[in-house]
Structure 1
Amino acid sequence: MVAVVALFSDEYQADPHPALAGLRRSGPVHRVVSAADVPFWLVTRWTEARQVLADPSLSKRQPVDGLPQELQAVLSTQLLLRDPPDHTRLRRLVSGAFTPRRIEDLRPRIEQITDRLLDGLSGAPEVDLIDALAFPLPFEVICELLGIPAAERGSFRGWSNTIILGDFGSADLAEAVRELSQYLRGLFARKRAQPTDDLLGALLAVDGDRLDEDELISMAVLLLVAGHETTVNLIGNAVYLLERWPEQKRRLLDDPGLVPAAIEEVLRMAGPSAMSTYRVTTRPITLGDTTIPAGEQVLISLLSVNRDDERFADPDTFDPSRDDGGHLSFGHGSHFCLGAPLARLEGQIAIGRLLARYPDIRLATPWQELRWRPGLLMHGLTALPVRVTSRPAPPPAGALGDDRQGHDV
């Protein structure tokens, strides 16, 4: 019998790494219970995590019976919760918009938005960098990519937070999905009547194999929410780590070419997602000395596997120049994150240009007092108060974070 380990307490949320290190030492997979008393299997070592992510016998489908109708429709057609061949078809319809080449074409616009947001920091004695940069940058980018009119974006942050943090059975989650779905149906109707040159317009205009209405809603919800939530955390976590490791911040100031590598190290050491999404075993699967029966839910602790000392040397040290890459923050296999190239580019531009414009930026609150977002899946700060004490001239376009030399995107 495998012992049940209680996680996700307030102490765990504040600093999960001691508990995760203890689990790694005792084995690659453990029976755990969530804050909502839901039992599942948690993978904590890198090798077994790669095995799970690549194993097609683990299904992404989740039961939706008993949930509100609108929520059922979104979840049952959700790309993240589909298996092949449905997953393959849905991913193919949108993957062309997220190729490294297409994302690289967005660089000038991302730089423009970043510089405008950084202009807003000037003269403020203290700002919340989540509100001032980390949230609005990826949010504006994904809204422009999808074709969400600027005047209609006001409610999206609330909807997104509720969808990311809400419990499947909660009334708040169901209401957020209902309101967002209702808005999107109206937007689709307008785009059908007057076609637009954006990703949603392209999906609506597809000939032959196309998304039905529920699939369109589900895809739009996924792209809107996942398209910015992870990057919010990535940018915030990057600034947090650079303040915790000032000698590495100095290295980036002295050598801006290290910015792309630093973003990869942030993804490894403090990635934006704490956990993978659920998978369900369709047959018994053996991980280490443990056999998980069929019909069991399995999650991967990304925070744990990316600090596995059997894979990474000195894993608790922030080192942008490390040569043992291979973090799993964007997953692995057929469900590898579609938006990884966009998240990487936004993180590189945001951190590179932030350090160039405000090299003396400092936390306004001791790092021990910062608060992390609640919930099972996300790993990011609720707020990041900083002080800005200098404003040099901005760098020329592309001078920082320009990762054109073959990094894995």
Structure 2
Amino acid sequence: MTETPVLPLYMRRDEFNPIPELAELRDGPGIRKVTTAFGVPAWLVSRFADVRFVFGNPDLFSNQRAQDLGLLRSPGLSEEENKRLRAGQMLAFDPPDHTRLRRMLTPEFTVRRMRRLEPRVHEIVTDHLDAMQRTGPPADLVADFALPIPSLVICELLGVPYADRADFQHRSSRVLDVSLPLDQRAELQREFRAYMGELVARAKADPGEDLLGMLVREHGADLSTDELVGIANLLLIAGHETTSNMLSLGTLALLRHPDQVGLLRAEPERIDAAVEELLRWLSIVHTGTMKVTTTEVEIAGQTIGAGELVVCTLAAANRDPALAEDPERLDITRGLANHLAFGHGVHHCLGAPLARMEMRTAFPALLRRFPDLRVVTDELDFRAFSVVYGLRALPVAW
């Protein structure tokens, strides 16, 4: 008989909102011991200032040690397999190893580069809106709009065949599902690695103008094949999972707040502030990467010894009254950019400019095209066990 998995405290939501127990933790002691999705104990940090402290001090809170100590290691994999799977995964490393990898990618994700990509994103958005309009309502906003747009963008950027999207989308959604046994998730990682290994081999034989081709041409002597595979895997999964869930969940949030969607329709120039508020209010990535203390440290009055696991709840921290007045309210006029939805410090999300640009393009275009857009059911399936929170489907009409 299969045991029903227990959802960790830091992943529990009531639709858009972190459960009240997380707010009570943040507004009370600020920190407590919990059990992670991997079944190991960790200190859960919940206040905005404390999360920034953890993220901002990689010398005290190590990403790499969580891997080195085997706390997150997949069972059934040899040490060599674990090492190969970690190669190129920037989130698994601390400076200077992390810095070396990130420096190679940073020029490809600047705001200036994103502006150059913006016309193509407009085309992709328009094409999908045209297809929705031709087919007519009802539509599934996830399958018809929110998922394919960032998937196509990251495929073109990386040099991944868009025809393969069904396979990699299925694998990525399952590898992020913490309800799956670790050995199944490890097998999915193997499949991802094998798939991306073929693409890297093609790029090495004939490097194109995409990101993989650039890495081969400009950094091929500095990156191993395993590192190229790891970088590409991370960018492919992160590049479509996060933005697609923001587009679907963000649309639902706006439609559930008629005053806010009305304001955005009337004043579309508010889109930048609206995107920041949706990022803050939704916090679709439950936590940052888990970290291990390198020395004894104090957080929220609690002394934590060296070698202990720390996890941060972004949903609670982004609704901290210390960050925003009346933080439980969705207010698109707020536009705070210092939220933690993209993390903070050396591991701040590399793709943040791309994600912002895609949302800044897609939300107004969707609301313009379908001024009477509405959700046609109250029975919605939220991705409760996913590392990236969102919706499995969003039936809409207009």
Please name the residue that 2:3 is paired with. Answer: none
314, 326, 333: which one pairs with 1:302?
314
Contact 2:62–2:94 (CA under 8 A) maintained in structure 1: yes
Matching of residue 379 in structure 1 with residue 396 in structure 2: no
12, 26, 42: which one pairs with 1:24?
26
Please name the residue that 1:89 is paired with. Answer: 100
Letter of the 1:118 counterpart:
L
Please name the residue that 2:332 is paired with. Answer: 320
Please name the residue that 1:193 is paired with. Answer: 205
Contact 1:71–1:178 (CA under 8 A) maintained in structure 2: no
280, 283, 301: which one pairs with 2:292?
280
- Counterpart CA distance in 1 for 2:100 and 2:129 is 40
- Counterpart CA distance in 2 for 1:43 and 1:141 is 34
- Counterpart CA distance in 1 for 2:176 and 2:7 is 22
Deviation track 1:42-100 (CA, whole Å, cap 9, x = no partner) reads 11110101111101221101124855254541225411010111000000111111011
Deviation for aligned residue 1:116: 0.7
Contact 2:138–2:395 (CA under 8 A) maintained in structure 1: yes
- Counterpart CA distance in 1 for 2:335 and 2:189 is 42
Please name the residue that 1:395 is paired with. Answer: none
Letter of the 1:121 counterpart:
M
Letter of the 2:277 counterpart:
E
Please name the residue that 2:85 is paired with. Answer: 74
1:126-205 equivalent positions in 2, closer than 5 A: 126-166=138-178, 170-205=182-217
Contact 1:371–1:382 (CA under 8 A) maintained in structure 2: yes
Instruction: Summarize the Cα distance change of 1:347–1:324 in structure 2 as closer, same or farther, 3 Å threshold.
Output: closer
Instruction: Summarize the Cα distance change of 1:59–1:167 in structure 2 as closer, same or farther, 3 Å threshold.
Output: farther
Contact 2:245–2:284 (CA under 8 A) maintained in structure 1: yes
- Counterpart CA distance in 2 for 1:372 and 1:185 is 32
Three-state SS of the structure 2 residue aligned to 1:153 is helix
Contact 1:43–1:49 (CA under 8 A) maintained in structure 2: yes
Aligned pairs, how many?
382
Letter of the 1:55 counterpart:
N
Three-state SS of the structure 1 residue aligned to 2:287 is coil
Deviation for aligned residue 1:359: 1.3
1:7-406 equivalent positions in 2, closer than 5 A: 7-8=8-9, 12=13, 14=15, 15-35=17-37, 37-56=39-58, 57-61=60-64, 62=67, 63=70, 64=73, 66-69=75-78, 70-122=81-133, 123-166=135-178, 170-207=182-219, 210-322=222-334, 324-366=336-378, 369-375=379-385, 377-388=387-398
Deviation for aligned residue 1:172: 2.2
Contact 2:30–2:45 (CA under 8 A) maintained in structure 1: yes
Letter of the 1:204 counterpart:
V
- Counterpart CA distance in 1 for 2:163 and 2:329 is 44
Deviation track 1:301-336 (CA, whole Å, cap 9, x = no partner) reads 110000001221000111111265421100111111
- Counterpart CA distance in 2 for 1:256 and 1:30 is 42
Deviation for aligned residue 1:25: 1.9
Deviation track 1:132-155 (CA, whole Å, cap 9, x = no partner) reads 111100000000001112333331
TM-score (normalised: structure 1): 0.88
Letter of the 2:51 counterpart:
A
Letter of the 2:392 counterpart:
T
Deviation track 1:141-177 (CA, whole Å, cap 9, x = no partner) reads 0000011123333311111112222479623222222
- Counterpart CA distance in 1 for 2:376 and 2:382 is 16
Deviation track 1:255-307 (CA, whole Å, cap 9, x = no partner) reads 11011111100000002211111111111111121111111111111100000
**Structure 2, gaps ≥5 residues long:** 1-5
Deviation track 1:321-363 (CA, whole Å, cap 9, x = no partner) reads 1265421100111111000000001111110100110111001
Bigger drift between 325-334 and 83-92 goes to 325-334
Identity %, equivalent residues? 41
Please name the residue that 1:393 is paired with. Answer: none
Instruction: Summarize the Cα distance change of 1:207–1:227 in structure 2 as closer, same or farther, 3 Å threshold.
Output: closer
Instruction: Summarize the Cα distance change of 1:96–1:9 in structure 2 as closer, same or farther, 3 Å threshold.
Output: closer
RMSD: 2.2
**Structure 1, gaps ≥5 residues long:** 389-409
Three-state SS of the structure 2 residue aligned to 1:42 is strand
